[in-house]
Amino acid sequence: MKTMTSRASLAAAAMLAAAWLASPVSAQTENPPAAATQQVAPPPAASPAPAAAPSATSPAIPTATAPASSPSAAPAAAKTEAATGVAPAMKELSPWVMFMSADVIVKAVMIGLAFASLMTWTVFIAKSIELSVASTRLRSALKKVAETRSLAEAQMALGAKEGILPSFLAAALREARMSAGLSSDAGIKERAASSFSEIVRAEARRIRIGMGVLATIGSTSPFVGLFGTVWGIMNSFIGISKSQTTNLAVVAPGIAEALLATAIGLVAAIPAVIIYNHFSRVTKGYLELVSRASGAAGRLLSRDLDRSHGSVHSRAAE
């Protein structure tokens, strides 16, 4: 029994010793993970350094992006300035501004058309005064000779005034004087009528002076203005190709300048055509008065011839 008890005590002591010895080993086996954890933990502890690096570089990022954003902001600012600069220019597209900014050839076309328009109105004023004065004088002369019986009385009634009717009377008297002694009255009248026709043609040419200018301006001004328009539009398309943009602010001024040439051409042509037609009617009326004056001079000549033949027959009867 003692032996068994001693053996049991020894076994218990051995077990205690084994348990005691086993506890440091387990403690050692549990500590290494902690140590490993501590060794692994420093890298996360070192991670603030990269975090600090971004934090250190984070101020640099805005400084790097600021220059990058400035180029994009510059075109925006340029566009804003361009928009603010174009808006007043578009509002200031007056005819004078368009003329001053036009091409040299377009300017020459506009100046030529403006000069043509000035000539049109000059001819209108001059011819209106001329036709009015001539018609008034001729009507007054026809009234004065309406009651006369001979060429001599008609000349005395008109006096020394110059005009178309005194020219007819002078031509009739000259032909009667140069045909004195001739027995053929028909020949005298025929020669006098020929002289009257020459006077009428000369008066028609004189009274139509300036109307050829109106006809030329009225027929050619639209085409001259169209030439300026084509030239201006061609320059506008060249400007579009150079600027590589179809923005209305770039295209509109050139096209407006080109269309201004056409507008000036129409301003010169339309009044010229209207004034030409007006003077055609007025001139026709005046030439009818001239024909009346020619007839009046012819009738007076015929009376003088008949009167001269009547006196000759009366003398022969005596």
CA 240/CA 253 separation, integer angstroms: 11
Q: What confidence tens digit (pLDDT) does each residue in 162-176 have?
A: 888 999 999 999 988
**Which residue, chain included where needed, has tokens 């006098």?**
192
User: What pLDDT does 103 receive?
Assistant: 79
pLDDT(3) > 90: no
* pLDDT, position 216: 94
Average predicted confidence (pLDDT) for the chain: 74
| Per-residue confidence (pLDDT) for residue 28, from 0 to 100 | 44
Rounded to whole angstroms, the Cα distance separating 104 from 264 reads: 16
**Could you identify the residue written with the tokens 């400007």?**
239
Check residue 198 and give its pLDDT: 93
Tokens encoding 292: 């009346």
What integer pLDDT is reported at residue 16 of this predicted model? Answer: 62
This prediction has a pTM of 0.63
- What would the pLDDT profile of 136-155 be if each residue is shown by its tens digit? 999 999 998 888 888 888 88
pLDDT tens for residues 224-242? Answer: 999 988 988 888 888 788 8
- Gap between the Cα atoms of 318 and 314, Å rounded: 6
Please say whether the beta carbons of 292 and 140 come within 8 A.
no
pLDDT of residue 65: 39
Query: Poorest-confidence range of 34-43, 248-257, 259-268?
Result: 34-43
Residues in Cβ contact with 119 at an 8 Å cutoff, skipping those fewer than 6 apart: 213, 217
Q: How far apart are CA 285 and CA 246, in angstroms?
A: 58
Q: Which of the residue ranges 8-17, 46-55, 95-104 has the most confident prediction, judged by mean pLDDT? A: 95-104
The DSSP 8-state label assigned to residue 146 in this structure reads: T
CA atoms within 13 A on the CB side of 183: 2
